[in-house]
Structure 1
């Protein structure tokens, strides 16, 4: 059982992270102050510093929150009861939908590489996304839906392609249109790979 103090501390931290997500999404990293984050969370600035060493630390917590939410939705799909092929297509649709979400666009795609530095951001993205891609590909191979390719390098290539697709969607003045194009292209490519293992049926 957690003590009342521990519960209060956790709720304070959660309120600060929610506040940070909202403000970083709306105003970006440069346009958001610690005072505003604390005020929106209805806590003192001292309480903020109790949990976070500074602005970058709370940004990284906001980034983790956004990425964790997306990862959770994808994991639920990829670990579902549908056949691997259907799970892969549903996961792709969910990924594109996530790229259209303002918080994910602003925090995870636009701001994080600058605030965290490209290398640390890439490592974080690797931690959140790469394992899901690798597991999904392995499921497709095990089910006979795609040819038996080297899982690690193929997953890396897919990871790079999807990362680039996320940037294209988030950077476009017409993100919905680009998202639909990304989904269409990847689905067509997957069907081409599948048709080679299913006697040209393509379904």
Structure 2
């Protein structure tokens, strides 16, 4: 077999092994949580050896981070779909923020992996960093546009971005940990809407 063909098959095998570990890890982290999921069960479910797992991930924690990034990336892609409609761009921005609150109430994988286990396993600083860089990019971009268009009151752009993202992060935690998530989502929808509208510049 030609060397190029062998290398291609090897690369595909490596990619398939990593994908299998992430797939099984995601399923287990979503259903039983990080603490209850054992490395032995993950490798058995993926049909690989522990050595193969540690070739890709140094620890269960590192596998969890890869799973969390995958879930957040998919969520980020879904965030703007279907197209958000509204009377004006500001109305669409509010609806964009509220989709984040909705996910905490209705998406079990998002709730368990991102909101319940994420901060505990990765630590608050790392969790916030990943969250900001992946799932809240749309919010960050919108804030920048509104600053340029003077739709947001004149304040430090960095401070406004940090404040809104921090508030959204806390709002979803409130919903995710609530006994009645439907009721908590309704409560937080009103709070988030009021909060974001407070940043809007006065209309002429």
Distance 1:11 1:180 in 2: 42
CA distance in 1: counterparts of 2:122 and 2:199, whole angstroms = 37
| Residue in 2 that maps onto 1:126 | 132
CA distance, structure 2, for counterparts of residue 120 and residue 93 of structure 1: 23
Q: 1:189 to 1:147 in 2, by over 3 A?
A: same
Helix, strand or coil: the match of 1:3? helix
Corresponding residue to 2:97 among 84, 92, 99: 92
- How many correspondences in the alignment? 197
Gaps of 5+ in 1: none
Measured in 1, the distance between the counterparts of 2:199 and 2:129 equals 29
Match of 2:24 in 1: 19
Q: Which residue of 2 aligns with 1:197?
A: 202
Question: How does the TM-score come out when normalised to structure 1?
Answer: 0.82
Within 5 Å, give how 1:99-178 maps onto structure 2: 99-100=104-105, 101-129=107-135, 131-178=137-184
Would you say 1:183 and 2:189 are equivalent positions? yes
Could you state the TM-score of these two structures normalised by the residue count of structure 2? 0.82
Asked if 1:71 corresponds to 2:39, the answer is no
In the alignment, the residues of structure 1 paired with residue 36 and residue 144 of structure 2 have an alpha-carbon distance, to the nearest angstrom, of: 43
* Residues 1:59 and 2:68 aligned together: no
Q: 1:153 Cα deviation (Å)?
A: 0.4
Please provide the CA RMSD for this pair. 2.8
CA deviation string 1:182-203 (max 9, x = no partner): 1222223444554x5235xxxx
Q: Separation in 2 of the partners of 1:80 and 1:105? A: 22
Task: Identify the structure with bigger relative contact order (alpha carbons < 8 Å, sequence gap 6+).
Answer: 2
Gaps of 5+ in 2: none
1:44 lines up with 2:64 in the alignment:
no
C-alpha separation between the residues in 2 aligned to 1:145 and 1:190? Answer: 12
CA deviation after TM superposition for structure 1 residue 20, in Å: 0.7
**Is the Cα–Cα contact under 8 Å of residues 29 and 111 in structure 1 kept in the other structure?**
yes
